[in-house]
Amino acid sequence: MAGSAVLLISCPDQKGLVSAIADFLFEHGGNILHADQHQDAELGLFLMRVEWDLEGFSLDLSEVPARFGPIARRFGMEWRLASSFQRPRVAVFVSRQIHCLVDLLYRHRAGELACEIPLIVSNHSEGEWIAAACGIPYYRFEIVPGRREEAEARQIELLEAHRIDLVVLARYMQILSPAMVGRFPNRIINIHHSFLPAFSGAKPYHQAYERGVKLIGATSHYVTEILDDGPIIEQDVVRISHRDQVPDLVRKGQDLEKVVLSRAVRWQVENRILVYGRKTVVFS
């Protein structure tokens, strides 16, 4: 099969954008499969995702930057090209709670996530059994207080050696350093066990219980240097009652965490997310 290609575009909103993009693809024999766009009127910003069939497309994808470049410069575009042949290489980080890890590995094996998972990184041993069952190398790094940077330096070397495109924090309960975050801008996805911006930081289920909230949630977001403050990708909630204790909140919340994280990872590997400012646009 020829597969498909995707352009993700953001630029100042102006006349002729959609026409120029469609004309470029038509000129080179591209058949558009999906096209979606969004205008942020307040910022005057245009965002678009367009996917086309490579069957009959007259350009090799390596030629697209040179041919599309003049159009992009004329409209002041920031743009990115991807193809269905490019399966992102994903490293999953996890600590003691492995429910999100197990869910991601199941979905990967079931064909729901179009990526490769060449390694799992942890600061605990709880996930070793599922990694072994899936035949994925499991690297354990002890995080010693005051020496986190040493462990992270070795982690970064490992990620670079495996040519990792995306890091997924599947309940990895360590704060990443600016050095780590800076190596993977908008390419580290975290799952936080609350409906951000409520109850950021540690023990959000305990915080929610103490406040007597009626809804709890989970949030998947990009990691930035500010804790739990990165652009939000996906969120969901579940209703709770006065009868629920902290263990009940944890149990209900963990189901949400799995779904919310897997959606965010799937959208990322399918090139459906554009980040602008502190927001994201997720194209369906």
Counting other chains too, the contacts that 33-37 makes at CB distance below 8 Å and 24 or more residues apart are: 33/4, 36/283, 36/284
Q: Kindly state the tokens that stand for 160.
A: 């670079």
- Cis? peptide before 12, omega within 30° of 0: no
- Catalytic-residue membership of 228: yes
Per DSSP, the residues of 224-238 read -SSTT-SPEEEEEEE
User: Measured at the alpha carbon of residue 17, what is the angle toward residues 16 and 20, in degrees to the nearest 5?
Assistant: 80
Q: Are 18 and 48 in contact (CB under 8 A)?
A: yes
Q: State how far the Cα of 32 lies from the Cα of 29, in Å rounded to an integer.
A: 10
- CA terminus-to-terminus distance, the chain: 23
Beta strands in 27-84 (DSSP E): 31-40, 45-53, 78-83
Query: Which of 53, 103, 228, 244 is flagged as catalytic?
Result: 228
Place of tokens 């041993």: 125
66 DSSP 8-state letter: H
What distances in angstroms separate CA 159 from CA 24, 93, 275, one per listed residue?
37, 11, 23
State the amino acid at position 224 in one-letter form. T
Q: Kindly state the tokens that stand for 190.
A: 């975290």
Q: Kindly state the tokens that stand for 251.
A: 């149990």
Q: Are 130 and 170 in contact (CB under 8 A)?
A: no
Task: Please state whether beta strands 78-83 and 215-222 pair in parallel, antiparallel, or not at all (unpaired).
Answer: unpaired
Just list the catalytic residues: 228
